[in-house]
């Protein structure tokens, strides 16, 4: 089955380790192998930046430019896509063309131009990333995510928010608006306590009102996606991979199960108003959806993911990503691009084969990386392969275009 969204060409200039690259893609499954440090992850990151957001590493714009003489260069990444109707469109992103070169006064005096990132759709400026979200979606799995079960709640919360964003592009605006209002509240309370200033209570109330409105929207979106993912995984969409059961620990989300959103907003406003002294002493807002956590359970074994083996944890993440891709395909009419970095690591042979079979059946274009081409032998005749070395990407004759 042909995917409804395909990346048919990737072009890079001075992006990370890639001075220049033009690579055509002609298959549903694209395999990139090569030694560590060859730039494989950088390729996936460039693809992830063709949609909204900060990409699979969450890096700052100034970090994307290839280094020359200790200074990052202006960079660009562009992709040509084909949609379900066979229509092609181009998306580009990068720093402005006028970005400073090493040794120039701008490079020596500041990096403001290199910290700006612009987007173009078919050559025209894009004013909002929401426009990109309507055309392109991508989800990814990276080795860094293997630590998701041992790290703090913030990492799992950001993981969940990225999943929500892929389905509901406005979610990012709600999260940003909530975080901005909370940061202002924290700053005012800190000034009041540290400097003895009397802050206008109406000002604080206005910030708490904004936090309540945006916070409830954030909590509701997270709660809704967790329920949909659990239903998809319980329905067998993950194939041979063990279903994860997700649980959102968040009082705001829990309150939404038994009360209207407006009532939950009122409760948050009252709680924050009553706890200004406590939060001022702590230097932070101690309650709210920013404290939520996402818990994973290995459903067949009824074991928390944190207690599972490394291989089982990777299998649970793969299950969540596959279920999420299926939800996007159903909701938006096209499956997201799947960016799977070193995905075969920690998977035994049966699980690898199950993954390859799932990718072959899913109507999505998938990009896989790895160091050992032999691991991907079952994909011969299915995947198009490339070999990567620093600054060079060549076709892999062992994996010709199907």
Q: What is the pLDDT of residues 204-248, one digit of tens each?
A: 999 999 999 999 999 999 999 999 999 999 988 887 888 999 999
Round to whole Å and give the CA distance between 276 and 193.
10
CB 112 within 8 A of CB 96: no
The tens digit of pLDDT for each residue in 114-123 reads 778 899 999 9
Q: Is residue 369 part of a domain?
A: yes
Q: Is residue 144 part of a domain?
A: no
The mean pLDDT value of the chain amounts to 90
Round to whole Å and give the CA distance between 269 and 275.
10
- 292 and 354 inside one domain: no
Sequence ranges of the binding site:
34-41
Domain boundary among 246, 281, 314: 314
Q: What is the CA radius of gyration of the chain?
A: 23
Q: How far is CA 140 from CA 200, 254, 343, in A?
A: 45, 28, 10
Instruction: Enter the tokens of residue 139.
Output: 């989800």
Helices assigned H by DSSP within 102-250? 105-109, 129-133, 153-167, 171-195, 201-234
Round to whole Å and give the CA distance between 5 and 336.
7
Which residues lie across from 291 on neighbouring strands?
Answer: none
CB 60 within 8 A of CB 117: no
- 119 and 95 inside one domain: yes
Helix (H, G, I), strand (E, B) or coil at 47: helix
Write the DSSP symbol of residue 93: E
257: pLDDT strictly greater than 80: yes
CB-based contacts of 97, cutoff 8 Å, min separation 6: 74
CB 203 within 8 A of CB 188: yes
Q: How does residue 275 score in pLDDT terms, banded at 50, 70 and 90? A: very high
172-203 in b/e burial notation, b at 16+ Cβ within 10 A? bebbebbeebbebbbebbbebbeeeeebeeee
Q: Is residue 145 part of a domain?
A: no
Which residues lie across from 79 on neighbouring strands?
Answer: 10, 91
Overall number of domains in the chain: 2
**Which carries the bigger pLDDT value, residue 224 or residue 85?**
224
Q: Is residue 376 part of a domain?
A: yes
**Which carries the bigger pLDDT value, residue 276 or residue 360?**
276
CB 317 within 8 A of CB 148: yes
pTM (two decimals): 0.85
- 121 and 93 inside one domain: yes
- 275 and 380 inside one domain: no
Residue 187 pLDDT: 93
Q: Is residue 326 part of a domain?
A: no
Residue 196 pLDDT: 67
CATH number of the domain encompassing residue 353: 3.40.50.300
**Which carries the bigger pLDDT value, residue 36 or residue 346?**
36
- 1 and 70 inside one domain: yes
Q: Is residue 328 part of a domain?
A: no
CB-based contacts of 166, cutoff 8 Å, min separation 6: 133, 137, 138, 139, 324, 328, 336
Residue 194 pLDDT: 73
Sequence ranges of the binding site for ATP:
34-41
Residue 52 pLDDT: 82
The tens digit of pLDDT for each residue in 89-115 reads 999 999 986 444 444 444 444 456 677
The tens digit of pLDDT for each residue in 192-202 reads 777 667 778 89
The tens digit of pLDDT for each residue in 337-385 reads 999 999 988 888 888 998 998 888 888 999 999 999 999 999 999 999 9
- Edge-to-edge, what's the strand order for the sheet holding 138-141? 138-141, 337-340, 366-370, 29-33, 383-389, 392-395
Q: How far is CA 295 from CA 149, 232, 242, 243, 252, in A?
A: 8, 17, 16, 13, 16
- 49 and 156 inside one domain: no
Q: Give percent above pLDDT 70 in the chain.
A: 95
Q: How does residue 164 score in pLDDT terms, banded at 50, 70 and 90? A: very high
- 171 and 275 inside one domain: yes
* DSSP β-ladder status, 18-24 and 118-121: unpaired
- 179 and 302 inside one domain: yes
Which residues lie across from 327 on neighbouring strands?
Answer: none
CB 37 within 8 A of CB 398: no
Q: How does residue 334 score in pLDDT terms, banded at 50, 70 and 90? A: confident
Residue 28 pLDDT: 93
Residue 2 pLDDT: 62
- 162 and 295 inside one domain: yes
User: Which residue range forms the structural domain that includes residue 241?
Assistant: 151-314
């Amino acid at each position: 089955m042909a995917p409804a969204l395909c990346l048919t060409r990737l072009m890079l200039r001075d992006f990370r380790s890639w001075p220049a690259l033009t690579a055509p893609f002609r298959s549903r499954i694209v395999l990139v192998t090569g030694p560590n440090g060859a730039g494989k992850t950088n390729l996936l990151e460039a693809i992830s930046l063709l949609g909204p957001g900060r990409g699979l590493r969450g890096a700052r714009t100034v970090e994307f430019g290839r280094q020359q003489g200790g200074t990052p260069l202006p960079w660009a990444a562009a992709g040509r896509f084909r949609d379900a109707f066979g229509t092609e469109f181009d998306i580009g992103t990068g720093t402005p063309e006028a970005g400073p070169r090493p040794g120039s006064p701008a490079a020596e005096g500041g990096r403001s131009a290199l910290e700006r990132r612009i987007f173009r759709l078919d050559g025209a400026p894009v004013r909002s990333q929401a426009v990109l979200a309507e055309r392109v979606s991508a989800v990814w799995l990276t080795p860094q995510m293997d630590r998701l079960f041992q790290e703090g709640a913030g990492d799992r919360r950001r993981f969940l928010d990225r999943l929500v964003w892929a389905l509901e592009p406005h979610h990012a605006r709600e999260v940003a608006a909530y975080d901005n209002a909370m940061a202002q509240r924290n700053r005012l309370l800190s000034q009041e306590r540290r400097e003895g200033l009397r802050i206008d209570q109406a000002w604080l109330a206005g910030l708490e009102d904004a936090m309540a409105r945006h916070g409830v929207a954030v909590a509701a979106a997270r709660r809704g996606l967790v329920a949909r993912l659990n239903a998809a995984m319980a329905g067998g969409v993950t194939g041979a991979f063990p279903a994860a059961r997700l649980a959102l620990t968040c009082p705001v989300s829990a309150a939404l199960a038994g009360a209207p959103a407006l009532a939950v907003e009122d409760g948050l406003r009252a709680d924050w108003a009553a706890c200004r002294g406590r939060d001022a002493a702590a230097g932070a807002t101690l309650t709210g959806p920013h404290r939520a956590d996402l818990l994973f359970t290995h459903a067949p074994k009824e074991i928390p993911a944190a207690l599972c083996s490394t291989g089982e944890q990777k299998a649970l993440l793969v299950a969540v990503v596959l279920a999420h891709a299926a939800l996007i395909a159903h909701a938006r009419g096209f499956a997201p691009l799947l960016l799977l970095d070193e995905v075969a690591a920690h998977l035994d042979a049966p699980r690898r084969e199950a993954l390859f079979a799932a990718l072959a059946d899913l109507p999505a274009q998938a990009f896989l990386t790895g160091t050992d081409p032999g691991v991907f032998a079952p994909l011969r005749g299915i995947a198009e392969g490339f070999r990567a070395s620093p600054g060079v990407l060549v076709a892999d004759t062992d994996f010709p275009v199907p």
